[in-house]
Amino acid sequence: MNTDDLIAGLARDPAPATGTGPEKRLLPVLLAGLAVTLALFFLVLGPRPDLMAALSDPLIAAKTLMPLLLGVLALILSLRAARPAAPFGLPGTLIWAVPAAAAALFVLAFMTTVPPARLPAFIGHSIPICLPAIPLLSLPMLAGLITALRRGAPVHPARCGALAGLAAAGLATAIYSTFCIEDSPLFYAVWYTAGIGIASALGAILGARWLNW
Amino acid sequence: MTERNAQWGDLLRRANRGEAAAYARFLTEVVPVIRNIARARSPHGADEVEDIVQEVLLALHAKRHTWRESDPVTPWLYAIVRYKTADAARKRRAGGGRQVPIDDLADVLPDDTAGEVTAAGDLTRLLGEIDDRSAGIVRAVGVEGQSAGEVGARLGMSEGAVRVAYHRALQRLRDKAGAVGTGQAKQPRPAKVDERLE
């Protein structure tokens, strides 16, 4: 087939339906993923009994709010990454505030914790739950995001997938943090970050595989 | 450059609202640019360049909804062209030189010379490996010589969709033939698939 014929054929196709982009698909699949994540969470983990009291402490609220902010920003970025040449813009800068704040909280907690208490606070007691739980709770939302992003055209599929992983992990970590009673940044700034990192790496792998086009 | 951006942006905006003429003009005007980039990336001659150009056109077509009217169109366009040319070049390398070992479809009709019978068998086998709908389109358009319009009317697809499906199916057949061909002692004569739309 020569190229001119192909062009003639393509031009005869109807215009793309409005609302076929990833944005339109995003909300339903994300909510479906979120529903599965929440169901898993309430079945297996459940919120801590003193949740309301705990959240009034800013240092504890931070472990829920920071990943939430991370998740929302990464969600926006993953959508931008799904459009060729779309700039990351302001959210691309703002998102760095989250790891910066986590690092600052870690340093602050390190200085305000008496030396003998540092290691126990860092090790905590729930690494074997925390580390797998965050990626696992991310998975339903990550799967939903990847299906939505397939409607886009990411020119760096792995990067787009990693951002989707980051978005899912941010939201999943915010949910997980309401179960977790490890309230020292010496614990959560490290181990939440590790869990989120695992989920993002998973997103990158899935992206490289499924966001190719 | 900005003038070109404004002009192409205007054409694609109208195209995405259903103006076929604007779309045809947009595609026609971007083809030389795509061809230049594809040529820089492929040392194997004009046929391969044209294959890549067509793959990029199909990609632009499939993803034209990902351009936002508020964004400049040229960065969007170049990002897709770069992505697809790199992708195509990578696939060709992976396919071992990518000389296409599918004989001219006209030659593999069963009533042709005896030497082609194996090739006809190969084609039948390859068609069995892709989905029935695509195989049907290749048979109808490539072997029986029906027009894309006729096939489309029968399958309830637009003519353009039939062309796209036909093109994609050929691409997959080439990939499969390439994968098999490298493992065979006696390679079928490398030849281009005759693309006989209209």
CB contact under 8 A, A3 and B50: yes
Flag whether residue B18 sits within 8 Å of chain A, measured between CB atoms.
yes
pLDDT confidence bin for B175, thresholds 50/70/90: confident
Q: Which pLDDT belongs to residue B5?
A: 86
From chain A, the residues in CB contact with B76 under 8 A are 83-86
Domain holding B81, by residue range, is 2-94
User: Do the domain assignments include residue B24?
Assistant: yes
> Which residues of chain A are at the B interface, by a Cβ-Cβ cutoff of 8 Å?
1-17, 20-22, 82-86, 152-153, 155, 212-213
Q: What CATH number corresponds to the domain at position B123?
A: 1.10.10.10
Q: What is the per-residue DSSP string for B97-166?
A: T---B---GGGGSTTS-GGGHHHHHHHHHHHHHS-HHHHHHIIIIIIS---HHHHHHHHT--HHHHHHHH
Distances (CA, A) of B63 to A21, A154, B25, B88: 9, 10, 17, 17
Query: Quick one: B42 and B63 in the same domain?
Result: yes
| pLDDT for A98 beyond 90 | yes
What mean pLDDT is reported for chain A?
93
Residue in B19, B76, B87 closest to A85 by CB: B76
What the block records as the tokens of B177 is 């033939």
**How far off is chain B from A210, nearest CA to CA, in Å?**
15
Q: Which pLDDT belongs to residue A23?
A: 80
Q: What CATH number corresponds to the domain at position B20?
A: 1.10.1740.10
User: Do the domain assignments include residue B58?
Assistant: yes
Q: Which pLDDT belongs to residue B158?
A: 74
Highest mean pLDDT among A52-56, B14-18, B34-38, B115-119: A52-56
**Tens digit of each residue's pLDDT (9 = 90 or more) over A15-37:** 777 666 778 888 899 999 999 99
Q: Domains in chain B: how many in total?
A: 2
Q: What is the ipTM of this complex?
A: 0.85
Flag whether residue B167 sits within 8 Å of chain A, measured between CB atoms.
yes
Interface mutation target, options A2, A4, A5, A6, chain B, most CBs of B under 10 Å: A6
User: Do the domain assignments include residue B191?
Assistant: no
Query: Quick one: B117 and B70 in the same domain?
Result: no
Query: Quick one: B36 and B119 in the same domain?
Result: no
Flag whether residue B31 sits within 8 Å of chain A, measured between CB atoms.
yes
| pLDDT for A50 beyond 80 | yes
User: Do the domain assignments include residue B174?
Assistant: yes
Q: Which pLDDT belongs to residue B183?
A: 44
Domain boundary (B67, B94, B121) is at: B94
Q: What is the per-residue DSSP string for chain A?
A: --HHHHHHHHHHSPPPPTT-SHHHHHHHHHHHHHHHHHHHIIIII---TTHHHHHTSHHHHHHHHHHHHHHHHHHHHHHHHTSTT---HHHHHHTTHHHHHHHHHHHHHHHHS-HHHHHHHHH-S-HHHHHHHHHHHHHHHHHHHHHHHTTS--SSHHHHHHHHHHHHHHHHHHHHTTT-----HHHHHHHHHHHHHHHHHHHHHHHHHHS--
Query: Quick one: B11 and B66 in the same domain?
Result: yes
**Tens digit of each residue's pLDDT (9 = 90 or more) over B5-59:** 888 998 898 888 888 888 989 999 999 999 888 888 776 667 778 888 888 998 9
Distance (Å, whole) CA B6 – CA B11: 9
Query: Quick one: B35 and B86 in the same domain?
Result: yes
Q: Which residues contact B113 (CB under 8 A, 6 or more apart)?
A: none
